[in-house]
Amino acid sequence: MPTETVDPRFVDIDRWPTASAVEAMLEGQLAAVAALKGQTEAIAAAADAAAARLRRGGRLVYAGAGTSGRLAVQDGVELTPTYDWPAERLVFLVAGGTGALLRSVEGAEDNVAVAREETLAAEIGPNDVLISVAASGRTPYAVVALETARELGALTIAIANNPGTPLLAAADHPIVADTGSEIVAGSTRMKAGTAQKAALNILSTAIMLRCGLVHRGMMVNMRISNEKLVQRARRMVASLAGIDEARAADALALADDDLRRAVLVARGLSAQDAAKRLTDAGGDLGDALAALEQPEAE
């Protein structure tokens, strides 16, 4: 596998001046992100397909082992504070369990029986979306979790750093970041991990876009959990509704701190009507505002 091979350019890197080694590592990180350039259409197609399932009430399921599993979990947990994605609509399948997020659990990634058992226990169904991540593209836990989810009717997305591998072949939507050999052979937390993180960030953000949780470049469904976010929310409502921040604060209070409803309240709707308009628009603030501009049918 390319990610496991020794790059002859770096066989003596341990003898290089530290600044030179750091420069080489930085160049590797930049190349890792560039490896995703050819995957634009694949990521977009995966995001569109995922959003269609999730709009029907499905869950996002992340699967992986080791570094890949930790990166997958990080991506998922950040969706709740950023987009107020419900925690109950997130599932994490990590080889070795949650303890593996803090400490390596040797051998867990090879246990295919546990992978299948845990995927079945998650009661995955046709509206769910499973994203499985593995640098090698061969990790047994990641492959079996994806195969099982697909058997259950879920949409499956794979992210791997080696082309032509079982994980990619088994997925509805394969995404390959061909990062090649690492500066330290086999240390896939380096280039491979960086490319995985970028792919996950882009994919999940695109999914949130298509789920209507972003409007005019703003996180209009973020969870207001501290004073900084209170101030940000007021600025956002003020900007989107064309009002001052004092009125925006009043609108947020009437809308129980729901940004999308607050914008509609600021545009003259009652809190109840704002909630209904948003529901009718499938939660998409842009669609709700567009409907508001249309004249009522006679």
| Residue pLDDT, tens place only, 60-73 | 999 999 999 999 99
What mean pLDDT value characterizes the chain?
A: 94
Domain 2-210 belongs in CATH node 3.40.50.10490? yes
Q: Average pLDDT, stretch 154-177?
A: 97
pLDDT in the model for residue 32: 95
Residue 91 and residue 122 in contact, taking contact as beta carbons nearer than 8 Å: yes
At 260-279, the pLDDT tens digits run 999 999 999 999 999 999 99
- 77 burial class (0-12, 13-18, 19+ CB within 10 angstroms)? middle
Residue 177 and residue 199 in contact, taking contact as beta carbons nearer than 8 Å: yes
| Position 2 confidence tier, pLDDT thresholds 50, 70, 90 | confident
In this structure, what are the phi and psi dihedrals at residue 218, rounded to the nearest 5 degrees?
Answer: -115, 150
* pLDDT of 49 over the 90 cut: yes
For residue 200, the tally of other CB atoms under 10 A from its CB is 22
pLDDT in the model for residue 105: 84
Looking at the annotation, which residues are catalytic? 78, 109
pLDDT in the model for residue 216: 93
Q: Average pLDDT, stretch 201-227?
A: 94
Residue-wise burial string across 242-258, b where 16 or more C-beta atoms lie within 10 A, e elsewhere: ebeeebbbbbbebbeeb
- Classify 221 in phi/psi space as left (phi over 0), alpha (psi -120 to 50) or beta: alpha
Percentages helix, strand, coil for the chain, rounded to the nearest 5? 55, 10, 35
Query: Which fold, 227-293?
Result: Helicase, Ruva Protein; domain 3 (1.10.8)
Q: Average pLDDT, stretch 188-198?
A: 95
At 227-245, the pLDDT tens digits run 999 999 999 999 999 999 9
| Position 298 confidence tier, pLDDT thresholds 50, 70, 90 | very low
How far apart CA 123 and CA 272 sit, in angstroms, is 34
pLDDT in the model for residue 295: 60
The pTM of the full predicted model, rounded to 2 decimals, is 0.91
Closest to 67 measured CA to CA, from 155, 1, 156, 161 = 161
Closest to 158 measured CA to CA, from 172, 178, 179, 144 = 172
pLDDT in the model for residue 186: 86
Q: Average pLDDT, stretch 194-218?
A: 96
DSSP H helices, 132-226, are 140-151, 166-170, 191-210
Q: Which residue has the higher pLDDT, 292 or 215?
A: 215
Q: What is the DSSP string of 229-256?
A: HHHHHHHHHHHHHT--HHHHHHHHHHTT
Instruction: Return the residue matching tokens 């953000």.
Output: 205
Which amino acid belongs to residue 63? A
User: In this structure, which long-range contacts are made by residues 205-210, counting pairs with CB atoms below 8 Å and at least 24 apart in sequence?
Assistant: 206/43, 206/44, 206/47, 207/47, 207/50, 207/51, 207/54, 207/60, 207/129, 208/79, 208/82, 208/83, 208/85, 209/47, 210/47, 210/48, 210/50, 210/51
* pLDDT of 197 over the 90 cut: yes
What the block records as the tokens of 90 is 């997130």
pLDDT in the model for residue 98: 87
Listed by start position, the domains of the chain span 2-210, 227-293
Mapped onto helix, strand or coil, the DSSP state of residue 15 is helix
∠ Cα 171 126 170 (to 5°): 10
* pLDDT of 83 over the 50 cut: yes
